[in-house]
């Protein structure tokens, strides 16, 4: 089994993603941080957009796109934010959506409202 590791921030004790056998990409939990900081924006929607853009960027490191996501797990500090998150989330796909779970998790790192973990498969 071959593995390719993608790591953008050496300060964090994990890889952003691992590509296994050149086909399956496992994304570590991603949060919507303001670029260059460890803070999340005040707006729920801004945070969701930053999160989804971060996911796109990590997929891009492996030469993949959003449509190649097959499974997504979203952890939310408050499940009442489900619909507000979904409005943003839907805008990042242009076809069928991946399988997904949306889970209440309580406190997330850096005060984030959402954390997204996913699996993508190359065509």
Encode pLDDT of 15-64 as tens digits: 999 999 999 999 999 999 999 899 999 999 999 999 999 999 999 999 99
- As a whole number, mean pLDDT of residues 85-108 equals 96
Per-residue confidence (pLDDT) for residue 25, from 0 to 100: 98
Q: How far apart are CA 7 and CA 48, in angstroms?
A: 22
Q: How far apart are CA 114 and CA 18, in angstroms?
A: 21
pLDDT by residue (tens digit) across 87-96? 999 999 998 9
**pLDDT beyond 90 at 123:** no
Contact criterion met (CB below 8 Å) for 40 and 109: no
Q: What is the DSSP string of the chain?
A: --EEEE-S-TTSSS-SEEEETTTEEEEEEE--PPTTSS---SSHHHHHHHHHHHHHHHHHHTT--GGGEEEEEEEES-GGGHHHHHHHHHTT-SSPPPEEEEEE-S--GGG-SEEEEEEEE--
Superfamily of the domain at 3-121: RutC-like (3.30.1330.40)
**Integer Cα distance of 110 and 38 in angstroms:** 6
Distance between CA atoms of 98 and 84, rounded to whole angstroms?
18
């Amino acid at each position: 089994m071959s593995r390719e590791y993608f790591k953008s921030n050496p300060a964090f004790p994990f890889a952003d993603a691992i590509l296994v056998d050149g086909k399956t990409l496992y994304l570590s939990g991603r949060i919507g941080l303001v670029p260059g900081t460890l803070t999340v924006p005040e707006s729920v929607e801004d945070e969701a957009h930053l999160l989804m853009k971060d996911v796109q960027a990590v997929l891009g490191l492996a030469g993949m796109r959003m449509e190649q996501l097959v499974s997504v797990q979203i952890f939310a500090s408050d499940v009442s934010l489900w619909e507000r998150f979904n409005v943003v989330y839907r805008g990042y796909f242009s076809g069928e959506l991946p399988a997904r779970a949306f889970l209440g998790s309580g406190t997330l790192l850096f005060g984030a409202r959402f954390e997204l973990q996913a699996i993508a498969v190359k065509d």
